Structure formats: C-alpha cells, structure tokens
Amino acid sequence: MPRFFMSSLITLLGILYGCSLVSTISPSFSQSIMKFSDKDITNYAQIVLKIEDQRQIAYQKIEEITEGLPQEISCDQSYTLKQLPNQAQTIAVKFCNLSKKIAQDSGLSSNKFNSITEKAQKDTTLRKRIQNAMIRARLP
C-alpha cells in the first residue's frame, strides 16, 4: 500500500471528524463500541469515498478562487471558513453540508459514523480495515 494513500486516509479522517454529524460523542458511547462489523466498515468506506470525491471537487474550485491551495479548512471550525474569500466560503459550506447529507443518507447512524471516525484516528487496525474496504469499493 503506498504511503501516500495512508497519509491521505488519515488526513481525510481528520476532515471527516470536522464534518461530524454530532459535535461530540459521549465518552460512554465511543468506549462501548470496540468492534465494528464488516458491513459497518464497508458502508463507512463508501461514505468516505463519496465525501472524498466531493472534497476534491470543492478544493479544486477553491484553489482556482484563491490561486493556490487554501489553508486548512475544517467544517466544525468556522474561523477556517471565514478566512476564505466569499465565493470560496460558499463552496466550502456547500461541501460541509453535502458531506453531512451523504453520511446521513447512508443508513449508518451518525453516532456510529462519528465513532468510527474518532476510533480510526487512533487505531491502526481499524484504519487498515477501512483502507481495505475503500480499495474493494473502488475495484470494478
């Protein structure tokens, strides 16, 4: 597995954490879910890929407006959006809202989605499961 893909996955998980459907996850809930089913991971991977496709489109548009890579943008940190020119802010907000809608429409509960995102940031085994599910989802 190329190292770039792994770092991209970690970056994407960080972005998704910023696009969480719920601002915080109760500690008891996130600690109570230690294992995720293969179906949950496959569903999560498909969501991540859909969101990543939209993120690339949004970033490309924002790059054109800002004439280069924008600084870090996080959906849950409004100051990162406010630093952008108005037209780029609109694109970023649309991306954040679309990301939430993609996740909500997936059938995976917001608590489970957020829990997987949070746990994947710390758990290399879970990240590998997500990576493998993403690879399988991209295969013809």
Q: Considering only residues 77 and 26, tell me which one the structure prediction assigns the higher pLDDT.
A: 77
Q: Please list, in sequence order, all residues whose beta carbon lies within 8 angstroms of the beta carbon of residue 78, skipping any fewer than 6 positions away.
A: none
Average pLDDT on 5-24 reads 48
> Which range (10-19, 40-49, 110-119) has the least confidence?
10-19
Which structure tokens are listed for 119?
């746990």
The string of pLDDT tens digits covering residues 23-32 is 344 444 444 4
Query: Which residue, chain included where needed, has tokens 């230690």?
Result: 34
| pLDDT score recorded for residue 15 | 52
| pLDDT score recorded for residue 13 | 54
In a 3-state reduction of DSSP, which class is residue 38? helix
Residues 131 and 9 sit within 8 Å (Cβ to Cβ): yes
